[in-house]
Structure 1
């Protein structure tokens, strides 16, 4: 269990949802690990994020390495999970199997998705962490979708890990005239 100070950054600052100095998390942490992030005093859903593969780049990010004991989340994600700037958060490593999703519902509009597109999108999502309202772009932005709802252990959840066993449901709010 690590206690870090939370900051937020905008998407135009860095593409990654998560910026953290891995030295603050311990020697056993590596790219691809799933982290659970939450305020210790809140009883709100806990955010799950995967440490990006560009871990070395993040450690070298200009100015960020000097902020010891700090974690930065993309601003809209922090707002969705009611994580407040400059407050302490608890950061734990979790096993992906423990937060595996049974089903995820994706919504899309104003586009056509064939079965092969749906299959490729699911394969793209396997072993990734998704959260409510996450916007997903695939195939150079030609497929755009958003996470609408997720289920794990028989109930709705706010985030989780997509696996080969996760059922993906595609919904389009398009109406016929």
Structure 2
């Protein structure tokens, strides 16, 4: 576990969900899954602290030394896309704990994707499942595939029988596709 100062960025700055300098986390490599969370205060430990300080899982997609410059020479920083940081209650400029996790430990049992105003055949669903295998998902993540021809959003996820906010899609993850166009509530 290593401590970093949290910064945020907009999608127009970078399409990446996570920007981290490889000098700050030398053991990291492309494809690794990292867990990011605010460490609970010393006087708060246990389940309650876990609920108040949710944990975010993100995948390192690129490592570039010039992508993120530290504000201070002696301080390690990382940047998370702003909407993700807001969803997971990560406070900007605060200290966060970061550790590399084993993908098998955070594997999803099942995931529900919703799409709207488009047709998705079984072949597109199969291709999308293959594309998502070995990637990290979080709640409300917007997914574009085939150059934007297929657009969907993560609605719910389950791991070890419980609803979770993030996890890794594996070969064994069951994906349910739901069309929100056909959902009519009376």
TM-score for the superposition, normalised by structure 2: 0.88
- 152, 161, 164: which one aligns with 1:157: 164
Per-residue CA distance 1:129-156 (angstroms, 9 max, x = gap)? 0000000000000000000000001110
Task: Name the residue aligned to 1:33.
Answer: 32
Q: Verify: 1:60 aligned to 2:66, yes or no.
A: yes
Q: CA RMSD in A?
A: 1.4
Structure 1: which 5+ residue stretches go unaligned?
Answer: none
Task: Name the residue aligned to 1:8.
Answer: 8
Aligned positions of 1:96-111 closer than 5 A: 96-111=103-118
Task: Name the residue aligned to 1:121.
Answer: 128
Out of 38-47 and 97-106, give the one that drifted further. 38-47
Q: Is the 8 A contact 2:21 2:66 kept in 1?
A: no
**Structure 1: distance between partners of 2:33 and 2:177:** 25
| SS of aligned partner of 2:23 | helix
Deviation at 1:22, TM superposition (A): 1.7
Task: Name the residue aligned to 2:95.
Answer: 88
Structure 2: which 5+ residue stretches go unaligned?
Answer: 41-48
Task: Name the residue aligned to 2:119.
Answer: 112
**Structure 2: distance between partners of 1:149 and 1:111:** 20
Structure 1 stretches of at least 4 aligned residues deviating more than 6 Å after TM superposition: none
TM-score for the superposition, normalised by structure 1: 0.92
